[in-house]
Amino acid sequence: MEAPEKNLALDLVRVTEAAALASARWLGKGNNDAGDQAAVDALRLSFNSLHVKGRVIIGEGEKDNAPMLFNGEEVGTGHGPALDVAVDPVEGTKLLAYGRPNAISVVGIAPAGTMYNPGPSFYMQKLVVPPAARDVVDIDAPVKENLKNIAKSLGKDVDDLVVFVLDKPRHEKLIHKIREAGARIQLHTDGDVAGALMAVDPRSEVDVMMGTGGTPEGVLAACAIKGIGGQMLARLDPQSYVEKEAIREAGIDTRDILTVDTLVRSDEVFFAATGISGGTFLRGVQYLGNGAVTHSMVIRGKTGTLRYIESYHNWDRLMKISSVKYD
């Protein structure tokens, strides 16, 4: 038996709350970069107060040429445990800019040297399932076969299943195969990490996520999926000749199948996410005039504990000590 150790996820949630509170002011205002920049500034400032020695492995914004914490950046006070950091201050910048649901702020951490570095890869094929189905899926199996096995493991019929798919032209054939198998589909314009989280969140109606999305987002989501006990099977899926050549020159084999255990090679993983624009997954920031309410989820991998946190923020007190001007 071990004595309880510090749950860093409970520190991380203060970081994602800060990013959500700062960026939600830009909800529906049509400015991608402004909302992203507000979140980046708040997140960096908050993260640098944590007593850790962090190094950003997944900065995410590089793919979209957006404001970002850059890959290789050191975060935290520089004292404490050495950590790999995966971060996306606003996952779903377009969702935030256009006032659509499921924009979230997310951070995942793991011991230094244990997090998969995607290098020049921007896109990967993914299959995400909850714990009950983690051992019955195969990324190379036909869609119909995977859905049949997932449904059986969950005690459902195939036509009970809900599959999260990004609404992209590249998924036209995938969508047809899912419908042909009889499963139901939720199509989302954006929100790669949120989709993966929905597939493993016990409160969500989503049962599985399928399709090609961002590689950085895949590593981020793997922090949560591993913590909950679900599974992600993935394979790099370059969407351009330039990306394919860059991956080849980096010596990475696109035939390799990745799992949560290769994406994050430690059980000492922590994850936090806070809703920004709201939705069925995490409620968004609600401003009250004299404060705000946020909704978050935090995960500790070693114990498999998943917490949902509703926080009430008081401007009068918070603004006396905070360097971030939320109001």
* Binding-site annotation: residue ranges for Mn(2+): 36, 60, 88, 91, 217
Structure tokens at 327: 């109001």
**3-state secondary structure at position 220:** helix
Which residues are known binding-site members for substrate?
A: 91-93, 123, 168-170, 190-192, 214
Q: What is the spatial distance between Cα 119 and Cα 108, in angstroms, rounded to a whole number? A: 18
**Spatial CA neighbour of 61 closest among 174, 216, 224, 171:** 216
Whether residue 227 contacts residue 12, with contact meaning beta carbons closer than 8 Å, is answered with: no
What DSSP string describes 100-161?
Answer: -S--EEEEEEEETT-B---TT--EEEEEEE-GGGTTS--TTS-HHHHHHHHHHHHT--GGG-
Give the list of residues 6+ apart from residue 176 with CB closer than 8 angstroms, or none: none
Mark the binding-site residues, compressed into ranges. Answer: 36, 60, 88, 91-93, 123, 168-170, 190-192, 214, 217
3-class state of residue 252 by DSSP: coil
Radius of gyration of the chain (CA): 19
